Every structure is written in C-alpha cells, then in structure tokens.
Amino acid sequence: MTRPFDGRHILLGVTGGIAAYKSAWIARLLTQAGAAVNVVLTRSASEFIGPITFEALTGRAVYTALIAEGHALDHIKLARAADAVVVAPATADFIARAASGQADELLTACLLAATAPVLVVPAMNDRMWAHRQTRANVAHLREIGYIVLDPDEGALAVGEGAGPGRLPEPEAIVSHVARLIEPPNGLRGKRVVVTAGPTREPVDPVRFISNRSSGKMGVAIAAAAWRRGADVTLVAGPLAVAPPTGPAIVAVETTEEMRAAVERAIRDADALIMAAAPADFRPAMPADQKIKKSSAPSAIQLAPTADILATTIASRPERLVTVGFALETNSALEHGRAKLTAKQLDLIVVNDATEAGAGFGTDTNRVTFVGRDGHVEEQPLLQKGDVADLILDRVERLMHGR
C-alpha cells in the first residue's frame, strides 16, 4: 500500500502496555507504505520496548522527553508536522490523562498541540476497559473529535483469560490510519457493494463445481473503497480472504446465495462492483449422499446458474453505478463489449486469464476499461490495490454524473 501514505507524516505514540511490542510492526508497516513515522514513547512504554527498535524500523529519531536540552519545542514541531496522530497501544492511564487535557509528558503535550486527526487504539485488561470511568474517558475523547477504536476480544496477559481488551492487529490499525488521512473524495459516505471470490455448486455433500478465483481483486476493491470513506458491503464467496478491517462481510457459498445477497444489498447502494467469479453452471441433480467411486455416474448433467448482473437489472436503483468484470481467454475486448451491453453496465473491466501476472491467484492484474460510451482505456500490469483505485476513480466520476 502506498496510497495515501506516500510522503505523509505519521506521529505514532506508544504507551506502557504489554501490547507495545505490536507497535513496532505498526511502525514498520507505515514506513513500508511510504510514510515518515515519528515515534514518541512515554516513560512507561520505554520499559516494555526500547527506542532503538523503532529507530531501526523507521530510520528516524525516536522522541521520549518533554523537556530536554535542544528539544524544548519538540511537542510543537512534531504535532505541526503530523498528518495524523496514532496512539497504539493506549493504556487506561493514558486515556484518562488525555481526556483531562494533561500535558505532563511529550505525547500528551503533542495531542494538545495537534490539529491533525487523532486515532486512539486502547489495549488493557477487560475489567479496566469495562470500568465506568474508562468508558466515560473514551466517550469524552470521541466527543472532542478523536477516533477511538474498540479493542479486540481474545487472549489477554498470562493468567487473565480472554475478553475485550486486546490491541487490534497492526494491519487493521494501519487500515484505519489510511482511512483517516485519505484525501476528500467522492466516495466518502457512499454505499458500495463489492463481490469477490468464486462460488461452489454442490455435486454431493462432499464435492462441488467451482473455479480458480482467489477473490483477491474484489477484496482489494472493497478495502480501497472503505479506505476512501465508503460504507462497504463485501459479498464474499469461499476463499475470498476478508480485509483486516472495514467492510461488512456477507459470506455466501453458491451463486444463488450470492445473487440474493447482492439483490438485497443494492437496494440502498450507490455502486455495485461485481468482481466475483460465480459459477456459471451447477449440477442439475446434486446427490443427497456422497457418491461412491464404485457407483460414480459416467456424466454429470449441468444446468445454468442465475446470471447475477442480468437478473438484478430490474432491481437496480436509478442512481446505482454498476461495474462488471469480463475475465476471458480469447477475444477479451470483444466479449467484454458484449457483456457491457447485455448486462446494462456503466463500466466493464476486461482482463485475460491466460496473460502472465493477470490471471487467477496473482497479486497483480492488467486490465482494460470499456465505458458505456465505448471509450477504451488499456492499463499496464499493476498491483491489484492500484487497479482497485483506478476502478474507484472511475466509479467516482460516474457517480458525479448521476
């Protein structure tokens, strides 16, 4: 991921909880994405993890002291440079001090000097998280405009069992930071439905008909749309690995289940991006019991499944921008144009499954866009995340024209 981090400055505050070790990975992910990461450690955080670790991961100096010779205005400089402030983990003690507006150490002073958006990621014992005072402090931080995530549920420190209080995984936190700093765009507040992955049509209770789709393209689109501020529903077939955070997930198995889920979801949607590869055929008479090899039929009679894009034409709201995919093995552009017309699409994304780096299961794709007006745009081989943003750029323009 480089968008929207490239060239941006992130102030990462680390407080004194056992989850501080995860902050090192957050710093690494942000740096790899292209951000300049300034790390501020509280006094107690330095007892869990040292400044040298963060300096090695970010390539930048680490800040620990509010008052030090030659650094009297660090809290102003750091706050002024930041495009976002992230505190992860945020202990109950830190949340209490931040909520009361204290500036007794460098990190709390930075918060008071910051005008950039602030993301606070709590991590603590479940009983501390549930305490009325902690809840009141969190509510106050949200009232003054900070984004405060709820902690994950799961195993806590040794001997403390499990419950709500775990720091969310670094990938999820970085996704929230990306959404926080994404420049204003036409998707913010819009409802977007994305489909991803294959479907499976049962032959018997054990076997099924499916295809080679991994769902990576659809998942990349869903993640990018959520990062850009959309309210996203991801209708995910088997094998489609959900993004670390964000989209609401509707898990489906068969093409009919996907069709029904899409039809429900588009009623209030502004865009439908059909990136899934639903099975085109199903066994006409699936067996109730596992078919034994000794009694296997010589052929399996097939029946067509519902064409999701075609069958939802009548139920699409007028405002809905509809994008389809045409994955072909020959005459890709010709087949894509035919699908664009037959399915009444606003845009079709055409790619060739036989092309190296653009087929199933890859992290890259090379696509061609064909618009309703017949305009064709060929794209180079790109990471699927970059392809996702190109698609969403065009969806935004189509929405603007409605």
Q: How far apart are CA 235 and CA 274, in angstroms?
A: 9
Out of 38, 125, 137, 211, pick the active-site residue: 211
54 C-beta neighbours (distance < 10 Å), count: 28
CA dihedral 360, 364, 366, 367 (to 10 degrees): 80
Tokens of 208: 């099924």
Sorted by sequence, the CB contacts under 8 Å of residue 2 that are 6+ apart come out as 33, 34
The count of C-alpha atoms lying within 13 angstroms of the C-alpha of 249, restricted to the half-sphere facing its C-beta, is 18
Tokens of 354: 């036989």
Q: How far apart are CA 127 and CA 150, in angstroms?
A: 14
Q: Give the DSSP H or E segment for 326.
A: strand 321-328
How many residues does the structure list for the chain?
402
Reply yes or no on whether 211 is catalytic: yes
Q: Give the angle subtended at the CA of 268 by the CAs of 266 and 274, to the nearest 5°.
A: 25
Q: Which residues are catalytic?
A: 211
